[in-house]
């Protein structure tokens, strides 16, 4: 508790942000004498994203369910650090709440590699039903706990898709395309299996990389492609739908364990409301983003069932690789074995 208070004080000085601190620092008292808290929730995402919607709705619901007693302040845009730094700070207890994509978590929570199983789901409804299913969720939640985190739940930004200057009508069209990916070994192996040339690159360099033909393609959810105007440099967006872009809401376990059972339940209930709210917003925004892309002249390509099956077949080794890397029960519950 003391760690995050010290860090929070530094944030106030550095960024001019104000929030009230809890017990050790005196905190703020409401009119009826109840202690008021204002804890930081950090993301590495811009404000105009589903991640921000998820975060703000969670903070709003926590405030409502606690009758204004528990306050949360959202800090987007990597103000408090990038994805890796946020996870480290959350583990240390310096930042109580973090919302982020699951891909950067594999190093910290090895069982989250299960989310890198490619071409598994046909619809977002299937994805959401799977991650919400207690048989799966309770197991993956324990993996977070073992690593020093408390997982509250998952929202999403739809599927990850590919943008490129080459139309994809068969699996052979992936061959040789230099595609930017995140620095995740399973992602790299997947694109290599399709015959592409995966190239890890800082996201800040992607637009200029496409502009200067340093890379031919990239993969991200529609939300990211539009918010960063990547479609301006691409002729096609190919609905590979190879991975769901899940967004996790995690809490420092040390911090969570110090809360009363009542306050823990408030966080759980607030997350469920925020999850459903942000998922609905995500679905609406995907349709809006597709319209923006099509209006620009960039073509949306839906791959054929045959090509999809070829992608699944090419991924067999990645399935086996991930199966051997994660908890057996978690893998089975996720892939439906």
Q: Write the CATH number for 257.
A: 3.40.190.170
DSSP state of 298: P
Number of domains, the chain = 1
Interacting residues of 80 by C-beta distance below 8 A, sequence separation 6+: 11, 40, 42, 86, 89, 95
Q: Which long-range CB contacts under 8 A does 300-304 form with residues at least 24 apart?
A: 300/236, 300/237, 300/239, 301/167, 301/168, 301/169, 301/236, 301/237, 301/238, 301/239, 302/239, 303/168, 303/238, 303/239, 303/240, 304/169, 304/170
| Residue 323 burial (10 A CB sphere; 0-12, 13-18, 19+) | middle
Nearest one of 323, 291, 141 to 222, comparing CA atoms: 291
- Tell me whether residue 254 is in a domain: yes
What is the residue range of 221's domain?
Answer: 2-332
- Tell me whether residue 266 is in a domain: yes
- Tell me whether residue 337 is in a domain: no
Torsion on CA atoms 150, 153, 159, 160, rounded to nearest 10: -20
User: Under a CB-based contact definition with an 8 Å cutoff, are residues 123 and 31 in contact?
Assistant: no
User: Under a CB-based contact definition with an 8 Å cutoff, are residues 126 and 158 in contact?
Assistant: no
- Tell me whether residue 257 is in a domain: yes
Nearest one of 95, 105, 5 to 42, comparing CA atoms: 95
Residue the block writes with tokens 């759980």:
268
* pLDDT in the model for residue 173: 98
Alpha-carbon Rg for the chain in angstroms = 21
- Tell me whether residue 18 is in a domain: yes
DSSP state of 113: G
- Tell me whether residue 146 is in a domain: yes
Tell me if the pTM is above 0.75.
Answer: yes
DSSP state of 245: E
Give the whole-angstrom CA distance, residue 137 versus residue 83.
22
Give the burial string for 187-202 (b: 16+ CB within 10 Å, else e): bbbbbbbbebebbebe
- Tell me whether residue 264 is in a domain: yes
- Tell me whether residue 114 is in a domain: yes
* pLDDT in the model for residue 15: 41
Tens of pLDDT along the chain (337 residues) come to 445 544 444 444 344 333 333 333 334 545 554 555 589 999 999 898 999 999 999 999 999 999 999 999 999 999 999 999 999 999 999 999 999 999 999 999 999 999 999 999 999 999 999 999 999 999 999 999 999 999 999 999 999 999 999 999 999 999 999 999 988 999 999 999 999 999 999 888 999 999 999 999 999 999 999 989 999 999 999 999 999 999 999 999 999 999 999 999 999 999 999 999 999 999 999 999 999 999 999 999 999 999 999 999 999 999 999 999 999 999 999 999 7
Nearest one of 59, 136, 49, 51 to 96, comparing CA atoms: 59
């Amino acid at each position: 508790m003391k760690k995050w208070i010290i860090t929070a004080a530094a944030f106030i000085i550095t960024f001019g942000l104000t929030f009230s601190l809890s017990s050790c620092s005196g905190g703020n008292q409401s009119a009826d004498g109840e202690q008021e808290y204002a804890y930081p929730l950090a993301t590495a995402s811009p404000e105009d994203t589903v991640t921000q919607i998820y975060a703000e709705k969670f903070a709003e619901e926590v405030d409502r369910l606690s009758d204004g007693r528990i306050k949360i302040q959202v800090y987007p845009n990597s103000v408090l650090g990038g994805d890796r730094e946020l996870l480290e700070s959350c583990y240390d207890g310096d930042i109580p709440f973090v919302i982020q994509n699951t891909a950067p978590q594999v190093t910290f929570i090895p069982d989250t590699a299960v989310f890198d199983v490619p071409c598994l789901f046909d619809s977002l409804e299937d994805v959401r039903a799977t991650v919400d299913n207690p048989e799966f969720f309770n197991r993956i939640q324990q993996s977070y706990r073992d690593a020093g985190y408390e997982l509250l739940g998952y929202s999403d930004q739809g599927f990850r898709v590919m943008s490129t200057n080459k139309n994809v009508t068969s699996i052979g069209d992936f061959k040789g395309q230099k595609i930017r990916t995140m620095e995740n070994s399973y992602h790299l192996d997947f694109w290599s299996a399709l015959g592409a040339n995966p190239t890890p690159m800082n996201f800040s360099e992607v637009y200029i990389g496409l502009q200067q033909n340093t890379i031919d393609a990239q993969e991200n959810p529609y939300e990211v492609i539009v918010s960063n105007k990547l479609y301006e440099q691409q002729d096609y967006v190919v609905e590979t739908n190879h991975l769901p872009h899940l967004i996790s809401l995690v809490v420092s376990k040390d911090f969570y364990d110090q809360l009363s059972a009542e306050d823990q339940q408030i966080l759980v209930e607030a997350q469920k409301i925020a999850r459903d709210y942000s998922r609905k917003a995500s679905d609406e925004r995907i349709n809006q983003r597709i319209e923006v892309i099509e209006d620009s002249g960039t073509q949306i390509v839906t791959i054929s069932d045959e090509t999809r099956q070829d992608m699944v077949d090419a991924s067999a080794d990645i399935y086996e690789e991930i199966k051997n890397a994660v908890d057996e029960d978690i893998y089975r519950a996720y892939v439906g074995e």
